[in-house]
Structure 1
């Protein structure tokens, strides 16, 4: 053994384990750092925003990037693009996280109900899942928002209906498989209630698969919200989001492309980072790939 390998081997022998991110690829580390940065920005956005994101200044219309004090320039109303970008990240991530959690909870609950009751309940859940998968969700979202109006709560709830059928199918199949195993039967024989069996024993064993599914649905929710806001049926002024900024900046793409470039690049990098992290988690947590 070489002299350089001795300290590493000794350290591994002393501590008995590897560091959590020691075998993480560089691309995954970059993606994780980007997501952490986005979450931190979303939390502290009002504190670090250099200007009020709704304050217009017609004297500074369409100022190019790099001009102090507007680092990323200004838009058609003289509003600071950086300030609007920070608040847009906050709103877009709030919608994406809220919708992803609602979708995961709804789909997992329906999947567990289908696995427990079987029969008619299972057929109804699978029929609803097939109906959801066969209908273009964008058309459904446009119809609901056009009929009921726009609000942040309604938008998050509507986005929460996206992708629930994936969780339902996965949780149903895994719950049926787990129920046939010995530990679930032993818990029932010891007198555990069905809710306790599913929440305390079955759910932790299938949580890794559901987490990977959430990382795959999350970027789709961001893109869907961006598309709705781009079409004018998502986040409404004075509130702003990444898709909202891209929608307003498309009219100035030839004269002031920086208005839509910064939110568009943020959308691309965030969705790419979540996808890369999700693929890595799938490879790490799937025992069949080891």
Structure 2
């Protein structure tokens, strides 16, 4: 009794320590990818608090100042651009903008494709044929051509641009959802719930959709980096996010003119694009391996 009383009480386990231990159990590459994505999320959510300068603040005296590791100063750790704007401040705001566009674009594509896939599997015949024709048309057209045409004809605004990104790859979700829903309708649990008198909304929302959600989540991890790269490409061409807003592709596009004199303007956002898309791809592959029962 005395010995037991003398033992120190176990220290309470904090939530952060539990998360840290779980990350440590992951494969090394997946752990690095998770930490990098967590850093990007923190930067995106806390961008207003992390900005050292305004993204439109000019300092012509410090024009094209090099980064700290190239002989620069602590005032501008990542250097400045051709107008003396702080590259770090613009990079922080660009991360928020690019992740915002990619997130909402992915959610729009997943929602639209899933809804159309369920409608095609439920109504069949004319509705299914119509949706499949739309899927084939979307898959046969290069999306970059569609995006260039829409932006050139309707002009550019942030809501239109996000909606356009959401139009990318919806056909992938529609095909997957239709196939999985047709398979689920042939299984016993869907038929049993239908015979008990459940309506289509309850059958698909409460029973079918949760069973196919893992495949759709994996598809979202593939679409997210694709939209980041697509947004970067359009912004690089000057058709994406417009000033005074900024994005990663926008920074790369403006920095290409100074690649020989001030490469840090382009290298900083380009590095973030590469690391973010690579991290999402690594994490998506790991999630697929965990959720796919055939790979266990």
Match of 2:275 in 1: 269
Number of equivalences: 272
Match of 2:55 in 1: 53
Match of 1:257 in 2: 263
Match of 2:106 in 1: 100
Match of 2:187 in 1: 181
- Quote the offset at 1:24 in angstroms: 2.0
**DSSP 3-state at the match of 1:239:** coil
Q: Which of 199, 205, 214 in structure 1 is aligned with 2:220?
A: 214
Question: What's the CA shift string for 1:35-55, capped at 9, x where partnerless?
Answer: 111011001001111000111
Match of 1:30 in 2: 32
Q: Which of 110, 121, 141 in structure 2 is aligned with 1:135?
A: 141
**DSSP 3-state at the match of 2:46:** helix
Aligned equivalents of 1:254 and 1:276: distance in 2? 32
Check if 1:83 corresponds to 2:89.
yes
Aligned equivalents of 2:31 and 2:151: distance in 1? 38
Q: Which of 203, 210, 219 in structure 1 is aligned with 2:209?
A: 203
Aligned equivalents of 1:285 and 1:22: distance in 2? 20
Check if 1:168 corresponds to 2:174.
yes
Match of 1:190 in 2: 196
- Quote the offset at 1:20 in angstroms: 5.3
Is the alpha carbon distance of 1:181 and 1:23 closer, same or farther for their aligned partners in structure 2, counting shifts above 3 Å? Answer: farther
Unaligned regions of 5+ residues in structure 2, if any? Answer: 1-20
TM-score by length of 2: 0.90
Unaligned regions of 5+ residues in structure 1, if any? Answer: 1-18
- Quote the offset at 1:28 in angstroms: 0.6
Match of 2:17 in 1: none
**DSSP 3-state at the match of 2:75:** coil
Aligned equivalents of 1:23 and 1:129: distance in 2? 41
**DSSP 3-state at the match of 2:167:** coil
Q: Which of 246, 265, 284 in structure 2 is aligned with 1:240?
A: 246
TM-score by length of 1: 0.92
Match of 1:8 in 2: none
